[in-house]
Amino acid sequence: MNGIYFLANHILGLKQDKHSDWLIQVHFSSSSLLKENYTIKMSEISLDDEVLSPDMFSDSENQMTSSFNTIELDEPLVISEEPEVTDTVHEWKGVSMDHIYKGLGPFGCHQHPPISPSAEHTVLFELPLNNRGTPKPYPKQQKDKWCQGYVRMPHSMHSLYPVNHENGSNGFRQRWEVIQEALLKSFVSTYQLEAAILSYNHKYAHRWDFSALHQFFSEVVDEESANHFFTGLLPKIVQLALQLPVLVTGAIPLLKRHTNASISLSQLQVSSLLANAFLCTFPRRNSTNPQSEYAMYPNINFNRLFGSYREDRYDRSEAVLEKLKCIFHYFRRITSQVAPEGTITIQRRYIPKEECPRWEQQCHKLPPLHITSKGTIESEGTGLLQVDFANKYVGGGVLRWGCVQEEIRFVICPELMVSMLVTEALDDTEALIISGIERYSKYEGYSDDFKWTGNFVDETPRDSSGRRRTSVVAIDALSFEQACTQFNTRNIIRELNKAYVGFSSSEMHTDNLAAIATGNWGCGAFRGNPQLKVLVQLMAAAVAGRSMVYFTFGDTNLRDKVADLYWHLVEHDIDVARLFYLLSQYRETASKNYSDFYQFLYKRSKMKPITNFLIKTETESTKIDGMSQESEKSTVLLTGYTSKAKQKEEEDELMIANWLEDLDQNNVEITYSVEKKEEEIVKCVDPSNVAVS
């Protein structure tokens, strides 16, 4: 327990600051109590002087004896630019990482064009950027937009809060005045902080629960550590939040459904927005009414996270406390150093369904694939477009009980959470790309076993617009109540389109795009089949013009199966259209548990395709995305055609498949008799026998 207390001291900030280089004028609203201009000193703790976190939680139990070792920040962590991958068949298969990087190194490929304001791109800081220093807010004068289509800011002059006067009458005050009065106090306990937050959220006083926050300070940290939090870190979080009117002067547009739009902010602006989310100041974002204004947006205020603790869910509750460690560590880093100088871009990408690829017509060959059982997307996917296995409400359960891939990424890189403030739920052909985010924490484990393990020094270089060259693409997979339904052609097309939207780029030439770093997308609680999902992503990457790095997260069996099938498909010159055809055929012959999926692909891919196996239909109604229920049940792509010749063709094709079943998969050669049989099949397909239904 002493070790835990020692760790908490460093998370929450043990020292009182003596530096005062970061001075920001905060202009409060015209409250009679707060008319004056306050100068708030955002104290600096030199990263060279203070130990941010001990290396207490090591990766193995035999290192626990050195749990009080510390990370000296004058000797920063060395984060290799190139993923540490060895050329052994035991860890990775496919092509090498050097091939993935095209011989240019991790940051040699393009990710995003420079930031430039436009009708579709809102930039909330001044351009051009100085070489040094924090980006200045833009515009210089505050612009207040209290209307639909924009974030309703807590400091807006139009944001009014109902109050009861001493004489019994009712009235309104500006919300920002109420917030300032509540937060500009000294706190000595989480119960006082709870009371302050509820004072400007009184509607939820009997509904909100702060049990996780109380548990953290009663059980995880000792009294001394708690005192340092309330006298050190918490006042800084409050100061950061109350600087919002000064730091964010422009109106923040919402990234609404079916739009292509981007927002660029500075890291300092993001930190102030997140400080307000931590203190639950954003108005109209708390309602659970499905008809409310922000019903289709993620939760942004932290109240749900603060209440995510139950004794009957002990393991997951412990993971929630570990997420709180990550968040406190982020705020400590942000407020203990010189103001951050970087920038972040959030981009919503939309392609209408009718403009998505016709998958039955794509002649692209499969792209280079590197598949590994070692490493993680965020660590070994350096310089690549890194996939977030997202919820359609971006962030998923990060501010609740969730603690899987998306939620973990959001707490070790908390700047991702600002996307939750602006992003409406994603539709089937939409994706979200966040670039420039920084990683602050190390971790180990997953789900209930997740643990914060210390400070992370992110040395990713920045681009010409001040963004770290880390890009995350959020794509939400379908959730299948019955796993078998994912093999329906309609669902395969949906997942192909979703991945394609996330992987494609209309801004950069495909010749030099960074590869995709991904893994078992939608294969946890959403019941996705990893063997199918890797092929779906591979096909989407091919059409988008990107290579792919696939992480199996320790699953060597999956790595080997995928690699073997990949090389088989490449050797047999299977393109995207042919593979799509095979996937569409599979469900009709699938075994009950789909264990024969790859076996089916091996067999069918060895067969020569029937002449004109992809026949274009004559009317729009027969296009793939407009399939009738009858045509979808027929997984063959000869949609809209029926004939005796076709029935004979299918029977003979099945006979060929049965013959192939008895042959050695690794040494199969199509014998003369099989070729002869195929010739007979082709002869049967006489155009005069084909009738359009």
CA distance 202 to 46: 39
User: Would the annotation count 405 as a binding residue?
Assistant: yes
Alpha helices in 210-255 (DSSP H): 211-215, 223-228, 234-242, 244-247
Residues 116 and 464: their CA atoms lie apart, in Å, by 11
Active site residues: 388, 406-407
Contacts of 580 (CB under 8 A, 6+ apart): 359, 360, 362, 492, 496, 539, 637
At 96 the three-state DSSP class reads coil
550 assigned ligand-binding residue: no
Cα angle, residue 264 at apex, residues 44 and 45 outer, rounded to 5°: 5
**Which tokens in the block code for residue 541?**
């990457």
- All residues at 6 or more sequence positions from 349 whose CB lies less than 8 Å from its CB, including other chains: 260, 430, 431, 432, 433, 501, 502, 504
Q: What is the DSSP-derived secondary structure letter of residue 257?
A: T
Residue 617 is encoded by which pair of tokens? 């239909």
In the DSSP assignment, the letter for residue 423 is B
8 Å CB contact between 126 and 136: yes
Task: Name all contacts of 505-508 with Cβ < 8 Å and 24+ positions apart.
Answer: 505/544, 507/112, 507/113, 508/110, 508/111, 508/112, 508/113
Core vs surface per residue 539-576: b (16+ CB within 10 A) or e: bbbbbbbbbbbbbbbeeeebbebbbebbebbeeeebbb
Rounded Cα distance between 451 and 332, Å, is 18
Q: Point out the annotated binding site for substrate.
A: 391, 405, 446
Q: Point out the annotated binding site.
A: 391, 405, 446
